[in-house]
């Protein structure tokens, strides 16, 4: 089981990737 710090860094990484992917999708769709 992950501890809180690992969980937070993992979540932050996922959010960061998601936001980056979303920006790319917006750029591609335009």
State pLDDT tens for residues 4-30: 899 899 999 999 999 999 988 888 876
Does the pTM surpass 0.85? The reply is: no
Angstrom CA distances, 4 to 1, 11, 13, 22, stand at 10, 10, 14, 26
Largest CA distance in the chain: 42
User: How far, in Å, CA of 2 to CA of 10, rounded?
Assistant: 10
User: How far, in Å, CA of 10 to CA of 14, rounded?
Assistant: 6
pLDDT of residue 13: 94
User: How far, in Å, CA of 8 to CA of 4, rounded?
Assistant: 6
Residue 19 structure tokens: 């936001």
């Amino acid at each position: 089981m992950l501890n809180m710090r690992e969980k937070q860094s993992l979540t932050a990484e996922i959010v960061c990737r998601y936001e980056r992917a979303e920006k790319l999708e917006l750029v591609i769709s335009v």
